[in-house]
Amino acid sequence: MKQTLEALLKHAVDALQNEGVLAKDLSINIIIERSRDAQHGDFAANLAMILAKHAKMNPRVLAEKLIAALPDDNAVSKVDIAGPGFINFFMDASAQFDILKVIHEQGADFGHSQVGAGKKVQVEFVSANPTGPLHVGHGRGAAYGSVVADLLTAVGYNVQREYYVNDAGRQMDILATSIWLRYLEECGEPVRFPENGYRGEYVRDIARDVYRNVNNDYRRPFDLVLENIPADESQGGDKEAHIDALIARAKVLLGDGYADVFRAGLTTILDDIRDDLHEFGVDYQHWFSEQSLVNDGSVAKALAKLKASGHLYEKDGALWFASSTLGDEKDRVVKRENGQYTYFASDIAYHMHKLERGFDKIIDIWGADHHGYIPRVKAAIQALGADADKLHVLLVQFATLYRGAEKVQMSTRSGEFVTLRQLRDEVGKDAARFFYVMRRSEQHMDFDLQLATSKTSDNPVYYVQYAHARVCSVFRQLVEKGLPRDLLSGMEFINKLTEEHEAALLSTLARYPETVERAALSYEPHQLILYLRELANDFHTYYNSHQFLVDDANLRDARLNLISAVRQVLANGLKLLNLHAPESM
């Protein structure tokens, strides 16, 4: 309907340009928006106010000329000038009813579109180090990323979801070493566990698995393990040096066994993460291994490419990327003095790999604490000869957990954190997803566990789901009362829907496709949640003030068609968010 009005206005502008009222070379962006207030009609255009200056004319006068030049259209019943020069459009009531037919015909596809035109987009999200179970901080990224991906799919993009597995870094070595030390404890060795090791209970679980598989094969006397190892922090030393030495020692003492322990940790934890996310309604097309970039020479290749284009130099025995010439604050090391690549080096290779895979758009979803990392990655993409605007980094703030008014304390290091699994157990998948995505992703968020589990009207998840269940309930009542339903007759007598509440619902329903599109293109799932709450509210209000199963069969059929459309749109929206649309509650 917006497009129709835009076309009409365009026509009027052309006419005025031909008459010489408006300059021909004017670049005009016609914006039609929905009126917030029903008094202002259904749609409004601010065109006259924007053009007033160029035309050297009072906006209201110009609006009058525009309206005079407007072609007739059946869908428009009245056009007004209001306020400083708004052009308000009142749409014909019969045109408003068309949306019900559209919803009925398109069903589950209603709201989908092709604005993405099949362009290839990659959405990479969560990508937490596989050094332990996901915690609630990752949950928000998971919920947000998956909905962004689903929204983009709904508007016609060809979306690939990817998880980048950081299986190559030092953190993984710390994990493997932690597992081995817990294993030695299992064997009965008097282990002093390093302060920088991973202390979570899951490390012991993996260690026990290893023990079950190899018995004492990897057992070494702890005295030997500790020989000449620099002291840990509480012993007056440096905890980083201590753990690094332990890692090196583990590799020496275990030989091939080290890789075995390492793999046990990686696969166990990755399987757990995969399973966890799956149950949270998050699935990926690809799990991309960082180690594979090192193994297949991609990192070396990426650096060679940077070197060839003159973006690398050596200093202090290390290899540097001159990112400061491309907008970064300072240059960054890609290969350390000790010959090892930095994390950033594999990230350059990773993004080169993404570029080579031919995505039109690359979306990285990161925790907001990584925001300082954006300029260097963009610099890398540019240095690789690609367009840095292809990369869109979306930031997700952490959520602070509350139980009522009480803040839930968390600390990853000590192992005392709330896992995503615990959250799902406590509040359920639907409430968790809904709450995570309810707020703008860059906004700090307070997640109240008590509210999310409350089965009262306080809880917005139930509010929306209840609206869906209520429609279903009406149809059950219809059957119980033995009343017939005639869909076609309902469409035929659709103009019996003359109540204010019905008009409001029709207009809200019509807004769904543009809401989905806006939410998708601006990566803002909360727009969809907001919409669903509005639609649910419109419905509940309607429900409370009018009976649907009335004696007048024609009116009844018309109303059933309306609420059936409401149910369809609620279901479509809930599905996009990967939430259940319950038939009863």
Partner RNA sequence: GCGCUUGUAGCUCAGCUGGAUAGAGCAUCGGCCUUCUAAGCCGAGGGUCGCAGGUUCGAGUCCUGCCAAGCGUGCCA
* Lookup result for tokens 């026990």: 208
Task: State yes or no: residue 445 binds RNA (CB under 7 A).
Answer: yes
Which of 11-19, 152-160, 165-173, 200-208 is the region at the interface with RNA (rule: CB under 7 A)?
165-173
Q: Report residue 7 as tokens.
A: 């076309």
> Is residue 34 involved in binding RNA (CB under 7 A)?
yes
Among 153, 177, 178, 527, binds RNA (CB under 7 A): 527
Residue with smaller CB distance to RNA, 215 or 443 = 443
Q: Among 4, 35, 292, 450, indicate the residue that binds RNA (CB under 7 A).
A: 35
- With binding defined as CB under 7 A, does residue 129 bind RNA? yes
Written as six digits, the tokens of 398 are 């952490």
Q: Report how many residues bind RNA under the rule CB under 7 A.
A: 91
Among 12, 70, 86, 269, the residue binding RNA under the rule CB under 7 A is 86
Q: Judged by CB under 7 A, does residue 551 bind RNA?
A: no
Closest approach of RNA to the CB of residue 477, in Å: 3
Asked if residue 33 binds RNA (CB under 7 A), the reply is yes
Pairing type for strands 406-407 and 445-448 reads unpaired
Whole-number minimum distance, CB 405 to RNA, in Å? 9
Print the binding letters for residues 300-319 with RNA: x by CB under 7 A, - otherwise. Answer: ---------------xxxx-
User: Coil, strand, or helix at residue 153?
Assistant: helix
- Least separation in angstroms between CB 23 and RNA: 16
User: For RNA, which residue of 95, 231, 463, 507 counts as binding (CB under 7 A)?
Assistant: 463
How far apart are alpha carbons 441 and 439 in whole angstroms?
6
Give Cα separations from 31 to 5, 46, 179, 283, 448 (angstroms): 10, 7, 61, 38, 40
Q: x/- string (CB under 7 A) for RNA, residues 185-224?
A: ----------------------------------------
Distance CA 163, CA 168 (A): 14
95 vs 483, which CB is nearer to RNA? 483
Contacts of 89 (CB under 8 A, 6+ apart): 5, 32, 41, 42, 43, 44, 45, 76, 78, 79
Q: 505: how many CB neighbours lie within 10 A of its CB?
A: 24
Helices 525-545, 460-480: inter-axial angle, 10-degree rounding: 40
Residues 412-431 that bind RNA (CB under 7 A): none
When the beta carbons of 210 and 510 are compared against RNA, the nearer one is 510
Q: Of 343, 390, 485, 575, which lies in the binding site for RNA, with binding defined by CB under 7 A?
A: 343
Residues 88-127 that bind RNA (CB under 7 A): 88
Residue matched to tokens 């398109």 = 106
Nearer to RNA, 278 or 371 (CB): 371
Instruction: Using alpha carbons, select from 252, 111, 202 the residue that is nearest to residue 574.
Output: 111
Q: Nearer to RNA by C-beta: 10 or 371?
A: 371
Q: Binding to RNA by residue 344, rule CB under 7 A? A: yes
In the set 109, 217, 356, 446, which binds RNA (CB under 7 A)?
Answer: 446
Q: What is the DSSP letter of 238?
A: -
User: Count of alpha carbons within 13 Å of 516, Cβ hemisphere only?
Assistant: 28
Q: What is the DSSP letter of 583?
A: S
Question: Is there binding between residue 283 and RNA (CB under 7 A)?
Answer: no
Task: Considering the complex, state which of residue 224 and residue 585 has its C-beta at the smaller distance from RNA.
Answer: 585
For the record, the structure tokens of 285 come out as 């097309």
| Gap between the Cα atoms of 51 and 38, Å rounded | 25
Distance, in Å, from the CA atom of 107 to the CA atom of 103, rounded to the nearest integer, reads: 6
